[in-house]
Amino acid sequence: MLSSAGYIVNGVALLCLVIASITDVKTREVPDWLNYGLISLGLLFNAAYSVIIGSWMPILFSIAGAVLLAGLALAMFYTGQWGGGDSKLIIGLGALLGLPLSRTAPFISINNPPMLVNFLMNLVIAGTAYSLVWCVVLAVKNRRRFTQELKRNLARLKKVKLAIIAVSVVMLAGFAFSESLELRLILLSAIIVMLSTFYLWVFVRSIERSSMLKLVEPERLTEGDWIARDVIVGKKRICGPSDLGISREQIRELIRLKQRGRVKKVLVKEGVPFVPSFLLSFIMSLSMGNIMLNLVMGALQLS
């Protein structure tokens, strides 16, 4: 069972994720006061707990959790998967939940793996399902533009599609004539992976171009917005996709250029508000534990 400190930690994390999810969906932002407050609170709480129980373990676990998730956050940020708000929020979760370095960690459930590991593994499932549902909603909402973009992408990639279909037909023939169950499973799996990967990529690409791009006036830009196309005035580049989010200085420069009549609007990419998937993963971890690990263990028991 969780200690009282464990209930406090999980309760604070849940509350912060609810607030962050609401703001992310409404404004595509997670406020810095929440992110930095969560990081500070996580470190301070665990430092205080270390003093109370007379052990360095809680604060060390807190630092370990923050460092682990900082590495993940930086990787996701610099590959363009998460925004700055998402990255800071998950570092705060790492600091609050902590990463136990032993099975006797205080205020953490005695079950192994610990909560933070369960959260990360469940995030793979929650993030994938949530993103797909969000994309389907966008496709339905913008079905006319999405259908046009889907047809355009399929036509552009017609040769690739035909090549994949041809390879799949050859594999299907091998599947039909093979007497080896292992080989048939491999061939069938390869066909499914190839076809699903191709059509999923085309689907996501069509969603992005039909539903996630919009022209925004400089005054309505916020720090961290993803610019979809380079803004060049004269021979000077003001901002663009390689910036990994627009800065306040760049926004001020765009506003000045608009006042001079040099810039009207900027093409911005609106990504999926991903923080709700953090909330979903955390709820899954609280209620069901490590879903992926449970499935693997269940399969091993059946075998």
Q: Which residue has the tokens 């196309």?
A: 229
DSSP 136-167: HHHHHHTHHHHHHHHHHHHHHTHHHHHHHHHH
Residue-level pLDDT at 284? 94
The whole-angstrom separation of Cα 16 and Cα 206 is: 33
Beta pairing, strands 226-227 & 236-239? unpaired
CA 211/CA 149 separation, integer angstroms: 10
CA distance 65 to 55: 17
**Ramachandran sector of residue 82 (left: φ over 0; alpha: ψ -120 to 50; beta: rest):** beta
Mean pLDDT by 10 residues, the chain (303 residues): 75 95 89 94 93 89 94 84 86 93 49 80 91 91 92 91 91 84 83 88 88 89 85 90 85 93 90 91 91 73 62
Region of 262 please: left (phi>0), alpha (psi -120 to 50) or beta.
Answer: alpha
- Interatomic CA distance for residues 20 and 276, integer angstroms: 8
CA distance 43 to 148: 50
User: What is residue 105's predicted lDDT score, i.e. its pLDDT?
Assistant: 47
User: Domain locations in the chain?
Assistant: 1-110, 213-269
Contact 268, 254 (CB under 8 A): no
Q: What one-character-per-residue DSSP string does 238-275 give?
A: EE-GGGSS--HHHHHHHHHHHHTTS---EEEE-----H
> What pLDDT, on the 0 to 100 scale, is given for residue 48?
93
Residue 102, pLDDT score: 59
Alpha carbon of 154 to those of 75, 135, 141, 196: distances in Å?
Answer: 31, 18, 21, 14
